[in-house]
Copies of this chain bind each other. A is one copy, B any other.
Amino acid sequence: MGSHIDILDLSNTSKVYHALATITAPNARLVHVSGQAGTTKSGYVPADYESQIHLALLNLRRVIVASGATVKDIAKLTVYIVNYDPQTRKHARPIQRFLGGHRPAMTLVPVSQLAVPAWLFEVDALIACPPPAQSIPRALTSGPGAENYDVVIIGAGLAGLTAAHELSRAGLSCVVLEARDRVGGKTWSQPMASGRSILELGAGWINDVNQTRMIGLARRFGLELIEQNTSGNCAIQDLDGSTSAFAYGEIPKFDFASVEDVMRIRDTTEADCQAVDIFNPKDTRLDSMTFEAYLRSNNASEKALWTATVWTRAMLGVDPCDLSALFFLNYCKSGGGLLQMRSDRKGGGQHLRIRQGTQTFSKKLAETLVPNTVRLNTAVKQVRQEGSSVDVITEVGSVYRARKVITTVPSPVLKTISFEPTLHPLKLAWSESANYGYYSKAMMVFKTPFWIPKGFCGLAQSFTGPAAVVRDSCSPADEGYALTCFMCGPPAQEWAALPQPERQEKLLTQLGALFKAEDTIKQEFVEMVMYEWSNDELAGYGCPCAHLTPGVLDSLGPNALREPTGNLHFAGTETAGEWKGYMEGAVQSGERAAKEIVDDLKSGLAARL
């Protein structure tokens, strides 16, 4: 709702995330926001500055959502900072992430205090709201061409296809609308250039202990399992770039005190995570603070902080300062705990791969449906509830009318669909608040698994990056040898900005150092295949799962995303209780949404509040 003014010779533009000025349109409705401080809904104020920044920005976001605007409509931000430190500028990162590329006019005001002694950060804003959106007139869209189903499902990933399968079993008709030209969503299996074996651009691992749905599907579809290699040493790259080896399941060979502290922090995190309710995480204090503030409140050493940074980077593409402690603990809990979720062994999150590729799950599920149930290249633009029916309107104006709709899109994508009546404010605020870190996968294909003879299992972690975590992804039966590099968090983001040859060079250098193969790695190297989920619009620009900043769970309620509203039901891996961010969670969420609908339609409760 406006435009920017920039002066071209502005120095240092790369670090500037605000405009010199913004212009609001003459017909803009202006919203003048009171100073928002970093307090939770109940008024609790976390002790640390960064957590307060997140909460203040969330409070600002809630006002923005309540006024019918979005972050993109912010014309001017003024931030007030107590004890401002120009060296660290800790406000910059959360604000930058909050703005998501939008550049308002901005003024920073260091102050000696704020209205309440505990407040360290306050933000006020001017918002220029667009005029109310014009919907497509019903007469133009709901002609005789409308197709009628019991249920329209948006998204042909594992959640959507599972739901379609379950609804069909219950005798309900459905259609699955998929914007991509393929099924599978964030599972996407592509062959190596050599054709030897599959590379997983998306989700890669399941297990046969506590992922009963996935192992069931694998068996049902006759898929072959590849057990993750955990024989041999793991590699670790310290902050100074030096590398060393340690046995799988142990702590890297830091000094004694650091090892003790990493173990203490790991165990504390595990214990606190186990205490969190999996479906209903509620803890105002834990949700008011970032995971970094949580770690620091537990007196984590620098080594422990960096170890935890590898966790959050590899699991969500973010640093501990970027997300709510409660969110992270609940995310771990959904995978059975920090240790189980991070484990490559029996029952762990990364135990078994699928020789045929994980996208096969979706392909096979789609084949079980009535022909023409899945419509590819069919992007949804609008969802309109009226009385007891819902019209789902595509970008090209086709109309699918149903009694119920399931959306399986990631929460950040929800805000891109036009809902009528508008999406419930809590869901809208969640969609606006949920965000991805930087997360890509780079598969490095080699002629031989050269790390095995050197005594490595292929698992590595790095405090420096560009890869935060590396895992063996070989298919020995196919003679396909690869290392999957998890390119996560800020170092990976810098790396991704480089030209392709430099990216490849840097990653090979890192892998050579990690696996003591500096001399030979270039001869071993075949190809690099990478996919930047952070550029994938339909995924909401990220992978594997959106995270939440402090205050969202507490102020919107832990189930705000999952709960149905009217005839809309919500699935997708992040709505799952167990194994959020994993394929198992996606399938569970599809089953749950289908069950809600079957129960509703069977009991005649076609319309919920």
Instruction: Tell me if A78 is interfacial: C-beta within 8 Å of chain B.
Output: yes
Q: How far is the CA of A122 from the CA of B21 in the complex (A)?
A: 14
Q: Which of B42, B107, B115 contacts A110 (CB 8 A)?
A: B115
Q: Is the CB of A9 within 8 A of B41?
A: yes
* A67, closest chain B residue (CB): B5
Copies of the polypeptide in the assembly: 2
Q: Which residue of B lies closest to A82 (CB)?
A: B110
Q: Among the listed stretches A27-35, A376-384, A523-531, which one makes contact with chain B, having 4 or more residues with CB under 8 Å of it?
A: A27-35
A20–B36 CA distance with the chains assembled, in angstroms: 8
Q: Which of A91-117 contact B (CB under 8 A)?
A: 104-117
A588 within 8 A of B: no
Q: Which residues of B contact A117 (CB under 8 A)?
A: 86
Q: Specify which of B9, B41, B63, B106 is in contact with A35 (CB 8 Å cutoff).
A: B106
Contact yes or no, A113 B86, CB < 8 A? yes
Contact A32 B66 (CB under 8 A): no
Q: Provided the pairs A63-B7, A115-B110 are in contact, do residues A31 and B42 lie with their beta carbons within 8 angstroms?
A: no
- Structural contact, B110 and A122, CB atoms closer than 8 A: no
Judged by a CB distance under 8 angstroms, whether A498 is at the interface is no
Report A2 CB to chain B, min CB distance, Å: 8
Q: Is the CB of B24 within 8 A of A32?
A: yes
User: Which of A11-19, A208-216, A245-253 binds B?
Assistant: A11-19
Task: Answer whether residue A124 sits at the interface, using C-beta atoms and an 8 A cutoff.
Answer: yes
Chain B neighbourhood of A31, CB < 8 A: 5, 21-24
Assembled-state Cα–Cα distance A110/B25 (Å):
32
* A263 CB to nearest B CB, Å: 41
- Decide if B108 touches A110 in the complex (CB within 8 Å): no
A362-394 vs B, CB cutoff 8 Å, 1 = contact: the mask equals 000000000000000000000000000000000
A62 at the interface (CB under 8 A from B): yes
Interface string of A118-135 (1 = CB under 8 A from B): 000010101111010000
**A401 interface hit (Cβ, 8 Å):** no
**Known contacts A5-B63, A112-B110; A29 and B23 CB within 8 A of each other:** yes
Report if A80 contacts B (CB, 8 A). yes
- The answer to whether B32 touches A104 (Cβ under 8 A) is yes
Are A11 and B86 touching (Cβ within 8 A)? no
- Nearest B residue to A87, CB-CB: B117
Once A5-B66, A109-B111 are accepted as A-B contacts, the answer to whether A33 and B11 lie under 8 Å apart by CB is: no
Q: Is A149 an interface residue (CB 8 A)?
A: no
Neighbour of A26 across the interface among B29, B66, B75, B127, CB < 8 A: B29
Instruction: Given contacts A5-B66, A32-B126, A110-B115, list 5 more A-B pairs with CB under 8 A.
Output: A21-B31, A21-B33, A22-B32, A78-B124, A110-B113
19 contacts between A and B (CB under 8 A): A5-B31, A7-B66, A18-B34, A19-B34, A20-B33, A21-B33, A21-B34, A23-B29, A23-B31, A24-B32, A25-B29, A26-B131, A34-B76, A34-B107, A35-B107, A78-B107, A80-B109, A86-B115, A105-B124
